[in-house]
A and B are shown apart, each in its own frame.
Chain A
Amino acid sequence: MTDHENEHGRGHHHGHEHDDEYAAEDAEHEAYEEAEEEALIAETSEGIQGLRSRTTTSAGELRQEVGAVLRLPEGGYVDPGDIDIERRDDETTIINMGPQHPSTHGVLRLMLELDGETILRTKPIIGYLHTGMEKQGEELTYVQGSTNVTRMDYLSPLHNELVFSLATEALLDVEMPPRATWIRMLMVELNRVSSHLLWVATNGGDLGSTSMLIYGFREREMVLAFFEKATGLRMNNNYIRPGGVAADLPDGWEDDIEIICETILARTYEYDELITGQPIFRERTEAVGNISAEEALALSVTGPILRSTGVPWDLRRTMPYLAYDKLDFDVIVGTYGDNFDRYSVRLNEIRESIKMVRQIADMMPPGDFRVQDRKVTPPPRARIDESMEALIHHFKIFTEGFRVPEGEVYVAVESPRGELGCYMVSDGTSKPFRMHIRAPSFVNLQALPLLLRGGTMADAVAVISSVDPVMGEVDR
């Protein structure tokens, strides 16, 4: 109704042929447009969390948004003006990408400052998937805790359970039976295969290779089918628990593993044929989104992104946990730190993991799959009918949980995305006093402004994909 009246009013004004009338009309129109623009900005604004115009941004913030992270040898930072020609606000456009954008792998929102097609500044805005899992972790006992953490990085749930269990066991100071350790190692390596397969698939999808998307998911399903057989669930397995694993491996697991290894290894060479040598894929990944080793270390970036710059840092090799020091495997590194290196590091890590899975299957020791300490692990079901103590232990573990000695511990494992850490504080009760997860995706996202700077808008999708953020883990 108001619009209509406005239109009508304007029509009336046109009748008078006076210059000042026109000027007044223009001013009115401009004010109307400005108000409309302001309303639009207010509707989509993240306030001080978002990317703002250059005039209202401090130098320090600007430096982060252009990804100028390196310190100069004589101290002080690189001046954003040096790496980026001074722009005025009216020469650039700030646009919004996500959180519903299909290539953001969840609900990542990016605010980008563009000059034409070139990206100048980036600010990732996160928190859309925040569910307070660290707070929830303080409300759950150590027995229930692995159900919670497994939902953080939903593409590598077993790594989350592993780091939680290792932290709890470090506080408890219990020794794992060898079979429990080796089953854990088998499962997390298979999980790495499935996680990297999904990455190769979605990365292909982001770059327009729809067939890669389907093939990657097809192979991943083989691993998930084995997980379902062994743990009962495809994802969010809650299989690795403080004190060992939930159940022994199913009968005939060796055959399943051999089929999985054989098929997936052969298929990775098919991927080579499909995309590795493909000219369009090479064009879009080589020399796109470069990062140097110094920059990666300064930004605390770990995992395949750090390795793609040539730093052979893999916790499985450099700070071995479980029994990784008994396995023979290579740490895959890249050279240039670009999208293509990150792709080849992950593809080759699938092959390395398969190599490890085969060794683990050969060397799997017999014995218990969980620690035989009735204060930590529940007794077998059959014992409950025979023994009063077994019943009491079972009841206590599932109602109150076990008490963990006071102390604090930081444990880190190599997840498919980098260093996955758990800082756990115990006050001597059966619930963690504080359970902080150092999520690799959360930290790696800081590299986005640097990776995107100077690239084109069309490559942004490829670069976001190459960082491999899992938003469940970023926001927790």
Chain B
Amino acid sequence: MSGTTPSTAPVASPASVLPEVPRLPDRLVDQLAFPRRETYKQMVAAFRDAGFELCSDLCAVDYLSHPGRSLPEGMTAERFEVVVNLLSLSSRQRVRIRVQVPESDPTVDSVVEIYPGADSMEREAYDMVGIIFAGHPDMTRILMPEDWEGHPLRKDYGVGRVPVQFKEAPGPR
């Protein structure tokens, strides 16, 4: 592990990363943080510098039909949430960051600059839930065709709608 592995000794414990950001206790992750949209990118960068080398997952959740969920005091629940799971290989810890994203302006900062591996995950979150990641170099659909309408994993997107849209599919005769 010496030589080839980047020097990743954590300089700070996850609790000391932006301690003003509210947290909640969690059974499985070491830290569960709820930054505001403005501090989200700053917090991800701070965790990166604290030794969290790998962005293991990024996804978006649409809470349209489940508004009452447990959040830290003073935090208003918005319709969308972007969830980032970070992993520290050196200290074997996981942290989860959850950001509230309002329906009126579903935009958050992209973290591709901090974790290049978040590229596909952010494109997927855009494609499926319609979150726009500001600063992403290639904010296009990844799984659906580029001319698809709507974002399938939104709760108000119907299931089993017909007709299925396909590019250049023969129309009804």
Contacts and interface: CB of A to CB of B under 8 A. Distances in A.
Contacts of B55: 300
B53 A297 contact: yes
A437 to B, nearest CB: 9
A63 interface: yes
A409 B119 contact: no
B120 A313 contact: no
Given A135-B153, A310-B4, A410-B96, A61 B28 contact: no
A311 B121 CA distance: 23
Contacts of A130: 143-144
A256 interface: no
A61 B159 CA distance: 34
Contacts, number: 133
B54 interface: yes
A48 B136 CA distance: 14
Interface residues of B, number: 50
A443 B121 contact: yes
B5 A311 contact: yes
Contacts of A442: 120, 124
Interface stretch (B9-17, B34-42, B56-64, B99-107): B56-64
Nearest to A128: B143
A135 B119 CA distance: 22
Nearest to B116: A69
B79 to A, nearest CB: 13
Nearest to B145: A127
Q: Which among B54, B89, B115, B137 has the highest number of chain A CB atoms within 10 Å? A: B54
B56 A48 contact: no
A319 B92 contact: yes
B57 A438 contact: yes
A49 B69 contact: no
Interface in A403-426: 406, 408-412, 419, 421, 423, 425
Contacts of A261: none
Contact of B152 (A64, A132, A412): A132
Given A293-B5, A421-B57, A49 B159 contact: no
Contacts of A409: 27-28
A312 B138 CA distance: 32
Nearest to B29: A410
B66 A427 contact: yes
Interface of A: 46-49, 58-61, 63-64, 69, 71, 77, 126-127, 130, 132, 134-135, 139, 170, 292-294, 297-302, 309-313, 318-319, 335, 406, 408-412, 419, 421, 423, 425, 427, 433-434, 436, 438, 442-443, 445-446, 475-476
Given A47-B147, A127-B141, 17 more contacts: A47-B146, A64-B138, A69-B116, A139-B159, A170-B27, A297-B6, A298-B116, A300-B115, A410-B28, A410-B96, A423-B57, A423-B59, A433-B61, A436-B57, A443-B120, A446-B116, A446-B117
14 contacts: A47-B147, A132-B152, A297-B6, A297-B53, A297-B54, A298-B116, A311-B1, A318-B92, A409-B28, A410-B57, A421-B85, A434-B61, A445-B120, A446-B116
Which are the 6 A-B pairs with shortest beta-carbon distances? A300-B117, A60-B137, A310-B4, A69-B116, A127-B143, A427-B66
Interface of B: 1, 3-6, 27-29, 53-57, 59, 61-62, 65-66, 69-70, 83, 85, 87, 89, 92, 94, 96, 113, 115-121, 124, 128, 137-138, 140-147, 152-153, 159
